[in-house]
């Protein structure tokens, strides 16, 4: 894709740099390692890469606690390495999207070090500071996603500071126009360097309620957690005041105005609010974000009803916006395990890639999805994620989706010549890239073939979507553009099933590669276990 709106319908491959490829043997993936493997990524048939944070950081939250927005952490390489990566990706036809974590910094950031010293320095109001209540307790009842209160005492100022995440991730005060301007300048730094866009982490967390009002309690029956640990008190509140404030809309418009001065660039917002689909519709407009994704398809609910209801609700709410769908990423258990269980088949892995790439919108594929990787089981003594360590054993954190990419069947799976920062999963070794290259029936070959085939059907890339009546476990819909119409049906179960398409539809079976294919016979579509059926329709 070379047009200015290349991002519409694009498949974006997420690279978690710590775990992708290590070039120097220290056990941590790096930018040179990514450069060495960009040919592999381009060969998948994706349109862009999204690189998770590689900026200077003390790594309390593995890069999502930034100490310097404009430099590469030495464990990942140098700015010169990034420039080489950017040039090589562009040579291979890949766009480059990088993470931006705007709502908070590390406590090691120079801004925070200055802000915490006293109440009258030049950056005294750059973070969210508040006095204690008369009894010394925090100013309100806000909670941190990672557990416990969202306020940390700072003796230098004799005040609390807000942290929606770790206590080492203080929240910036976006009510201060200087903060907004500074973060726009940081975006400009990377745009001038040539990046093609930004994945914007926790973008609805930039502003807080200036009155610091308490969040109201949530009834027990509504505490679904939305991906959080089931015993995390964060689920006990409606988070109406610590994020998703109306002032954020104006800031997003400033971000969009900046990107309009760099034609061909894009924004992808990560959105997690009390009503994420409504927030996506509000944020993803021609004046704000180009795209957004939420956690609705990153939950445990794998049913045709849930997928259909999620997409239809967003479609109705967002007539002008553009969605982006993801079913796995660095924050949740891999979809093959989450939706298929411990004994999930590779047929499910093939199907899931085709399914997410057939919905209307753009797609984020997480490294290893093209291999059908399952969720790794990490013992407590090997955990690195502070979230998992805090909530063990009920919730094991995010390390299970962050283990090293398996490139071959060597001792460290070809990821590193040294001991990896997280152990290589034994279940991943047989699914390594080298082994799947040799197997024509592998998930890797299926993914490549489907992505090539998808490009040939404009309706699947940029067309509209309309769902067709179907009973569980079948999900069926029509993708339609001025260049044609494609009917898709997916059997979400591990047993064969049948689906009856509308009799008014004249279907011509399309030979779609990738998932196990269904067949049309006597007006019925016969779907194998975790199979899919594609057809053209007049």
Question: What angle (nearest 5°) sits at the alpha carbon of residue 372, between those of residues 369 and 373?
Answer: 85
Alpha-carbon torsion, ordered 320, 321, 322, 328, to 10 deg: -150
Residues annotated as catalytic (active site), given as ranges: 201, 270
Q: Give which of 178, 78, 163 is closest to 124, Cα–Cα.
A: 178
- Residue at token pair 């699914």: 431
Gyration radius (Cα) of the chain, Å: 23
Question: What angle (nearest 5°) sits at the alpha carbon of residue 47, between those of residues 3 and 461?
Answer: 70
267-281 mean pLDDT: 96
What is residue 490's three-state secondary structure? strand
Could you tell me where in the chain the CATH 2.60.40.1180 domains are found? 463-537
pLDDT at site 224: 74
Per-residue buried b or exposed e for 303-323, using 16+ beta carbons within 10 Å of the residue's own CB: ebeebbebbeebbebbeebbb
518: left (phi over 0), alpha (psi -120 to 50) or beta: beta
Q: Is the peptide bond before 156 cis (omega within 30 degrees of 0)?
A: no
**pLDDT over 50 at 1, yes or no:** no
160-169 mean pLDDT: 98
Do 460 and 357 meet the contact criterion of CB atoms below 8 Å apart? yes
The confidence band for 527, taking pLDDT boundaries of 50, 70 and 90, is very high
**pLDDT over 90 at 210, yes or no:** yes
Give 500-517 pLDDT, tens digit per residue. Answer: 999 989 999 999 999 999
Do 199 and 100 meet the contact criterion of CB atoms below 8 Å apart? yes
pLDDT at site 221: 86
The confidence band for 229, taking pLDDT boundaries of 50, 70 and 90, is low
The Cα–Cα gap between 94 and 2 comes to 10
pLDDT at site 225: 59
The Cα–Cα gap between 189 and 186 comes to 5
CATH of 463-537, one of 2.60.40.10, 3.40.190.10, 2.60.40.1180, 3.40.800.20: 2.60.40.1180
Q: Give which of 168, 131, 127 is closest to 146, Cα–Cα.
A: 168
**pLDDT over 90 at 499, yes or no:** yes
What is residue 298's three-state secondary structure? coil
Question: What angle (nearest 5°) sits at the alpha carbon of residue 190, between those of residues 187 and 191?
Answer: 80
Could you tell me where in the chain the CATH 3.20.20.80 domains are found? 11-105+177-452
The confidence band for 230, taking pLDDT boundaries of 50, 70 and 90, is low
Name every residue whose Cβ is closer than 8 Å to that of residue 23 and which is 6 or more positions away in sequence: 30, 32, 33, 36
pTM > 0.85: yes
pLDDT at site 222: 87
**pLDDT above 90 coverage of the chain, percent:** 94
C-alpha 143: how far from its chain's center? Answer: 23
**pLDDT over 90 at 319, yes or no:** no
The Cα–Cα gap between 251 and 181 comes to 10
The chain-wide mean pLDDT, for the chain, equals 96
**pLDDT over 60 at 151, yes or no:** yes
Give 93-141 pLDDT, tens digit per residue. Answer: 999 999 999 999 999 999 999 999 999 999 999 999 999 999 999 999 9
pLDDT at site 173: 99
The Cα–Cα gap between 406 and 425 comes to 9
Q: How many residues does the chain have?
A: 538
477 beta partners: 467, 488
At the top level of CATH, which class does the domain 11-105+177-452 belong to? Answer: alpha beta
């Amino acid at each position: 894709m070379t047009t200015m709106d290349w991002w519409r319908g694009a498949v974006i491959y997420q690279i978690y740099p710590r775990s992708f490829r290590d070039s120097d043997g220290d056990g941590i993936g790096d930018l040179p390692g990514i450069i060495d493997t960009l040919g592999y990524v381009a060969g998948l048939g994706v349109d862009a890469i999204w690189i998770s944070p590689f900026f200077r950081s003390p790594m309390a939250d593995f890069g999502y606690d930034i100490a310097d927005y404009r430099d590469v952490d030495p464990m990942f390489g140098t700015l010169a390495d990034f420039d080489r990566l950017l040039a090589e990706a562009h040579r291979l036809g890949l766009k480059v999207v990088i993470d931006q974590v705007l709502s908070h910094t590390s406590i090691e950031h120079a801004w925070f070090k200055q802000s915490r010293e006293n109440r009258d320095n030049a950056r005294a109001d750059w973070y969210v500071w508040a006095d204690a209540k008369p009894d010394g307790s925090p100013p309100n009842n806000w909670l941190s996603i990672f557990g416990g209160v969202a306020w940390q005492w700072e003796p230098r100022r004799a005040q609390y500071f807000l942290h929606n995440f770790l206590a080492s991730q203080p929240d910036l005060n976006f009510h201060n126009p200087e903060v907004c301007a500074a973060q726009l300048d940081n975006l400009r730094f990377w745009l001038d360097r040539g990046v093609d866009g930004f994945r914007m982490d926790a973008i609805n967390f930039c502003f807080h309620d200036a009155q610091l009002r308490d969040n109201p309690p949530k009834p027990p029956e509504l505490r679904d957690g939305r991906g959080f640990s089931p015993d995390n008190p964060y689920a006990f509140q409606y988070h109406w005041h610590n994020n998703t404030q109306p002032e954020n809309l104006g800031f997003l418009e400033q971000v969009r105005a900046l990107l309009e001065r760099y034609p061909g660039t894009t924004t992808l917002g990560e959105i997690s609010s009390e009503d994420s689909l409504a927030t996506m519709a509000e944020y993803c407009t021609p004046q704000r974000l180009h795209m957004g994704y939420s956690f609705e398809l990153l939950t445990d609910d794998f049913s045709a009803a849930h997928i259909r209801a999620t997409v239809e609700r967003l479609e109705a709410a967002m007539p002008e916006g553009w969605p982006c769908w993801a079913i796995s990423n660095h924050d949740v258990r891999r979809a093959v395990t989450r939706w298929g269980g411990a004994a999930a088949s590779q047929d499910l892995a093939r199907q899931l890639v085709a399914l997410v790439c057939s919905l209307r919108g753009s797609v984020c594929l997480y490294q290893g999805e093209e291999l059908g990787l399952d969720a790794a089981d990490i013992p407590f003594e090997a955990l690195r994620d502070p979230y998992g360590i805090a909530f063990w054993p009920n919730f094991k954190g995010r390390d299970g989706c962050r283990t090293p990419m398996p490139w071959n069947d060597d001792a460290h799976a070809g990821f590193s010549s040294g001991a990896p920062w997280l152990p290589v999963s034994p279940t991943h070794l047989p699914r390594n890239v080298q082994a799947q290259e040799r197997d024509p029936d592998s998930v890797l070959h299926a993914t490549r073939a489907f992505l090539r085939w998808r490009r040939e059907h404009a309706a699947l890339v940029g067309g509209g979507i309309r769902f067709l009546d179907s009973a569980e476990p079948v999900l069926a819909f029509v993708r339609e553009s001025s260049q044609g119409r494609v009917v898709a049906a997916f059997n979400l179960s591990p047993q064969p099933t049948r689906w009856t398409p509308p009799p008014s539809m004249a279907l011509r079976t399309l030979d779609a590669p990738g998932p196990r294919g269904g067949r049309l016979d006597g007006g019925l579509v016969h779907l194998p276990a975790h199979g899919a059926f594609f057809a053209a329709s007049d």
